Every structure is written in C-alpha cells, then in structure tokens.
A = this chain, B = another copy of it.
Amino acid sequence: MARKLGRRGGNIVTIHDVARHVGVSPMTVSRVINGEKNVREETRAKVMASVEALNYSPNLAARSLATQDSARIGLLYSNPSVAFLSEFLLGILSESSQSGAQLLIESCEGPEGATVALEKMKAGGCDGVILSPPLSDSTRVAKILKDMNLPFVGVAMARPDPTVSCVTIDDFKAAKAMTRRLIELGHRRIAFIKGHPNAYASQIRYDGFLAAMAKSGLEVEDNFVGQGYFTYRSGFDAAERLLSHKDKPTAIFASNDDMAAGAVAAAHRIGLDVPDQVTVVGYDDTAMASSVWPELTTVRQPISDMAGLAVRLLLDQIRAYRMGKPFEAVREVRDFSLIERQSSAAIPEA
C-alpha cells in the first residue's frame, strides 16, 4: 500500500533511516546531531558519516514540536531607511528559519502606532519581539512591551538602558573614529549634520564627533552644525546651508547615509565636486551609500549579523522566560568599520 509520497523533495530520510543505517537507536542519532556529550567518539563519527551519506537533515517541524521550543517572534519596524530594512530582514530571516521560529511582521508609524501593532502581535500569539531602529530607542515602546510582559531585543539601539536587551555598535566610538579619519585626511573645517532630534542615536553620534574634534583641538563652530531628520531632503537642505557660508567646510559628516546622499546632491547643485572640493561621509552603510554616485564613505554597521544575533538573544530570552528564570538584559556590542569609498578625499591643497 503506497504511503505518502516523499517529502521535502524526495528527502524522506528520517532519523530512523540514519539509525538503521548505522545500527544504533534513533535516540543516539538525535544525540549526535544535537551535539550532546556522552556519545562515544567512534559512534559519533559513524553517525556523522551516515548523516552525510544519506544527506539527512532533521525535520524542524518535528523537532520544535517535540522540544516544545517553537517560538513566534514578532518583528516591529517603523519606517527606517528601507535599505537598512533589507539587510535587517536578511539577518532575521536566515537566523529564524534555521531555528524554526515563526515570524510575525508589523510596521508602524513611529512609536505612536506601536501599541496597536504590538497588541496585534500579542493576539497573534507572539512570544517575543525584535525592534528595529528607531523603535529600539523608544522608551515608550519599551514600556509597552514591559507592560505586556513580552521579551524583546532592540537592534542598533543607542540608548544605554540596562534593563533592555539589545545588539548595537558603539555609536560614540564609531562617530569619533570617522571624525578622526577626516582629520587624518587633513580636514579641519568639518561640518556635521545631526539626525532626528528624537533619536538618541543622533545625540550619541554628535557627541562622538565633538569628542574627536575636541581631542584634536579643533573648534566646532555653531554654523557648522546642521539639524537634519535622517531624510535625504533634510540632508540636502542642511548641506545647502552649511555650504553657503563664505568659509565653507571642507568636509561634511552626515549622521546617516540618506542625509549624506542629500548633502552630495546639494554640493553638486552649487557646482562643488565631491570629493575634490568637499568630502561628504555618511553613516550606516545602507544600500544608499553604494548606489549613489560618488559612492559614500561611511560607517558600516553589520546590520545583518546584528539582526541575526538579536534573534538568537530573543530566543534565549524566551526560553529563559518559559523556564521561569529571572529576566536578565544582555547588551551585545558589535564592531563597526569605516568604509572608504569615493566621496572622501584628503583636503584639497588650498
């Protein structure tokens, strides 16, 4: 009697097949593939060989059913740079599909819409939430989640809140490093475009900039600091203003890529070459940075890795929560890096 057809593309290999092939019990195979100890090295090797030979790969559905370890994780994003989003999603995706977690996705307009979105997630049986910036920085959103008693992890969060788990880079150091690099290139008249005043990250990045400038004994004139809102347009406008002074800056550090791109456009518009006449650098290394011309020198955050790590942390947290363990916030700091592309150059010989 023909049973069900082969599953997963003819890959009907189950743990039992492997067990039979090796001549051990399924349990032993399970131990091996889960990396448990107390398996003789010889047995382990044989099992591994069979797994390889039969091209076995465990059925995640069965596993999560058996371990009762499945989780539904929510992904809440507002409207960050969409380029940021795709890298972010990529990270979330590859990690969560590996762990068999289910995803619920909601977007919201700023922290205001968050309540609704989170209610929806909770109703959908969500076990935990991942927050993308700028939501991750919102105390309000954090409060809602705490009230809901839902574990959550923020990504790229600048606010140093010891009660919230997150994965970040050191924005202060990164901004400082980029500024130092500009100084190394000979720039002295460096302007800065701040991000949205509500975003904590804006402040931190600005502080890093100031710190580097101060350390080199450089002054930061008031009219060399522009207020932006993380949008292309705001960068454009701010740069137009900054470049209108008679004593123009030779470099502009915009605190995200969108604004940097806007700044480049503004420079071009008034006939300034980038980077020959003015250097423009950004922050984030989103797709924007490498799609614009000239491609932007920028601070790279390993967004995808960070997002993946956030998923892992969240799952740990959910597990801990289920085991009744007390909550313990974790703060993981990843390394950033400076990406030098064509929008920056040494100061033009005066």
Contact = CB atoms under 8 A, between A and B. Distances in A.
A232 interface: yes
A35 interface: no
Contacts of A103: 93-94, 97
B287 A82 contact: yes
18 contacts: A5-B322, A5-B323, A5-B324, A7-B68, A8-B70, A8-B125, A9-B122, A61-B62, A62-B65, A65-B65, A82-B287, A83-B86, A86-B89, A93-B105, A97-B105, A268-B269, A269-B269, A288-B291
Contacts of A70: 7-8, 59-61
A89 B83 contact: no
| Number of this chain's copies in the complex | 2
Contacts of A262: 293
Interface string A1-43: 0001111110100000000000000000000000000000000
B72 A61 contact: no
Contact of A125 (B11, B61, B291, B322): B11
A108 interface: no
Interface string A34-59: 00000000000000000000010101
A150 to B, nearest CB: 7
A103 B97 CA distance: 6
Nearest to A55: B123
B323 A82 contact: no
A293 B264 CA distance: 12
A55 B293 contact: no
- With a 10 A CB-CB cut-off, give which of A86, A232, A262 has the most chain B CB atoms: A86
A194 to B, nearest CB: 18
Contacts of A59: 65, 70
Nearest to A121: B9
Nearest to A288: B291
Interface string A288-309: 1001110000000000000000
A125 B11 CA distance: 7
B291 A82 contact: yes
A100 interface: yes
A81 B72 CA distance: 30
- For the complex of A and B, the 5 pairs showing the least CB-CB separation, nearest first, are A86-B86, A82-B287, A9-B127, A97-B103, A85-B86
A262 B125 CA distance: 45
A11 B150 CA distance: 13
Given A93-B103, A265-B265, A265-B293, 11 more contacts: A6-B322, A9-B72, A61-B61, A61-B64, A62-B65, A82-B287, A83-B287, A261-B292, A262-B293, A268-B269, A288-B291
